[in-house]
Amino acid sequence: MIKNIVLGWYRKIFNKNNELAEKRLAICDSCPHKVNLTKKESICSLCGCVLSAKVRVEDEICHDNR
């Protein structure tokens, strides 16, 4: 889990895995568990993850099976 958190933030900071992130964020946009913190940042209310980092890691899953 820690490895995926670090990997997600690395990819977010250095703008990696954008294609994967865009597809996954599109799914998150329609989810009732998405909580917008700012215009550019949101978290998942189920797991507490920052979505812009989580969606960049292939091994991460949605706790709501989306």
- Of 12, 1, 3, 15, which is closest to residue 47 (Cα–Cα)? 1
* Domain assignment present for 18: yes
Neighbour-count burial of 66, counting CB atoms closer than 10 A to its CB (0-12 exposed, 13-18 middle, 19+ buried): exposed
Domain that holds residue 47: 2-54
Average pLDDT over residues 38-59: 95
* Domain assignment present for 8: yes
Task: Report the predicted TM-score, pTM, of the whole model to 2 decimal places.
Answer: 0.86
- Residue 11 CA: distances (Å) to CA of 19, 27, 64, 65: 12, 19, 23, 23
Q: Is the pLDDT of residue 55 over 90?
A: yes
* Domain assignment present for 66: no
* Domain assignment present for 22: yes
Q: Is the pLDDT of residue 1 over 90?
A: no
Map residue 53 onto helix, strand or coil.
Answer: helix
**pLDDT at position 19:** 93
* Domain assignment present for 61: no
What is the C-alpha separation between 61 and 38, in angstroms, rounded? 23
* Domain assignment present for 64: no
One-letter amino acid for residue 27 of the chain: I
